[in-house]
Amino acid sequence: MRTARESKNGYVPLPAAFVERVGREVPGLVEALDGTEPPVSVRFNPAKPYTMPADDTDGQVAWAEVGETAYLARRPVFTTDPAFHGGAYYVQEAGSMFVGWLLRRCRDAGLLEADGKGLRVLDLCAAPGGKTTHLAAIVAPWGGIVIANEVIRPRAKTLAENVQKWGTDHVAVVSNDPAEFGERLPDFFDLVVIDAPCSGEGMFRKDFGARAEWSPENVLLCAARQRRIVSDAWATLRPGGILIYSTCTFNTVENEENVRWVAERLGGEVLTFDHLPEGIVPGKNADGPALGWHFYPHRVRSEGFFAAAIRKTAAFSSLAASSASKTTNSGKKRGATNSGLTPLSANELREVRRWVSTEALPAAGLEHFVTGGDGSVYGFSTALHEAVTTLLSGRFALLYSGVQLGELIRGSLKPAHALALYPGLNRQAIPVTELSETEALEYLRKGSSTTLLPPDRLAEGLNLVTFQQIPLGWVKRIGRRYNNLYPPAWRILHY
């Protein structure tokens, strides 16, 4: 008799070679992948207070902070929730939130210089943005910054969109090959997170396409690619810095064997921690401490996941940095020194500053205001301003950074959509209109119905529109009509 999951359209059986291996190595896993439904988990934005109805939630993720996450009792249609579009929460696999647990434990153990103050983080394979926004939320109170990279340009644009929705002011999004970080930015980052492309065994429960694409040969190809990615980026990690390596697969070839290879060949110490949340399984290592940690769907409420933390030793770094610095210096000789960031005049600065506030922010907020090469005004923290200047001087492909505030026209700021989503927006600078769910959905589909969203609900001129106090964007009322200024590329098509 076929199970409920086997009866679904498009069902693909688990690969026979995979079943044979995990049936022997991890009893109970095959049954969980084919006989249970995957959980749905979300992570809340601490800068955008929001409470889900109690009936919609079903507990919290054990390896996250209290109140930071929730499992959902059922999978909703997120497209119909305006709070989702406003960046109040991110739909993220529970297992991948363990990266945040590792970062916090590294700080608690004193493994980060200056107790994490001013931490520089590289999320190397960052799209669509779950780990980036999580890392950003954690390091914001420490004054840290996150550089989020995605080499595939369409995915990088999605990453930039999600960063804007989250409302960060200390993240930069770039689209570069991993090798360029090691070549151009030696010893630059304190923490590098590499969620490496993998064979996807951890997604077998919900992604039948991953089952169809799997093969033992592909596992070996993935493992080799993962080693190449880590090797390419290793020089960008400072001596004593930490690499968090993760995959969404189960096999030891892509996991424990790669962790051992990184430690032995590149020069690192594999970190271990006590008091793990219940159900997480230490990685296999016959010679000593665990080589990372496994998340098995029949042991924890998560899809398949693996993560390890490796601290870089100074001995290897001196060689890598020496080699990489030659490339960096030669790059500078080619004239890559102009950052393209122009400081504002005193009058421009006065106009821009009235739009921002630090009251709702966990850190200092925006400290530098400049005009970028695209003519828009951007705001940065001091740490991010320094990093972005370095990225531009190094010819990195910068897609988004800091907060895009808008465009100065005849001395007045025409605000960008990103400014509406920024928690540091000064709401005293603009009329604010709270929308009902029906009105919010009309706005999010970029509609202009005066029946679904009556103009008399808006103040004359520009309005910030919100849902449950969560900003959604701008609307401009002109008499008995209005202009919906929601970005066309972001509009929802069906609800």
Catalytic residues: 248
Q: Report d(CA 458, CA 455) in Å as an integer.
A: 6
Mapped onto helix, strand or coil, the DSSP state of residue 238 is strand
Q: Report d(CA 188, CA 237) in Å as an integer.
A: 6
Largest Cα span, the chain:
75
Torsion angle of C-alpha atoms 50, 53, 59, 65, degrees rounded to 10: 10
The per-residue b/e assignment along 230-259, b for 16 or more CB within 10 angstroms, e otherwise, is bbbbbbbbbbbbbbbbbbbbbbbbbbbebb
Q: Work out whether strand 403-409 and strand 69-71 pair parallel, antiparallel, or are unpaired.
A: unpaired
The candidate with the shortest Cα–Cα distance to 91, out of 104, 78, 102, 103, is: 78
The candidate with the shortest Cα–Cα distance to 394, out of 340, 337, 437, 435, is: 337
Whether the CB-CB separation of 208 and 78 falls below 8 Å is answered with no
Q: Among positive and negative, which fits the CA dihedral 443, 447, 451, 455?
A: positive
Whether the CB-CB separation of 237 and 312 falls below 8 Å is answered with yes
Mapped onto helix, strand or coil, the DSSP state of residue 314 is helix
For 141, which DSSP code?
G
The candidate with the shortest Cα–Cα distance to 230, out of 197, 199, 190, is: 197
The candidate with the shortest Cα–Cα distance to 398, out of 164, 185, 174, is: 174
Whether the CB-CB separation of 272 and 329 falls below 8 Å is answered with no
Q: Report the DSSP beta bridge partners of residue 12.
A: none
The candidate with the shortest Cα–Cα distance to 423, out of 471, 483, 353, is: 471
Whether the CB-CB separation of 461 and 431 falls below 8 Å is answered with yes
For every residue of 97-118, DSSP letters joined together read: GHHHHHHHHHHHTT-SGGGGTT
Q: Work out whether strand 120-123 and strand 368-371 pair parallel, antiparallel, or are unpaired.
A: unpaired
Q: Which long-range contacts (CB under 8 A, 24 or more apart) does 472-476 make?
A: 472/82, 472/85, 472/86, 472/420, 472/435, 472/440, 472/443, 472/444, 473/417, 473/420, 473/421, 473/443, 474/415, 474/417, 474/420, 475/433, 475/443
28: phi then psi, degrees, rounded to nearest 5: 95, -15
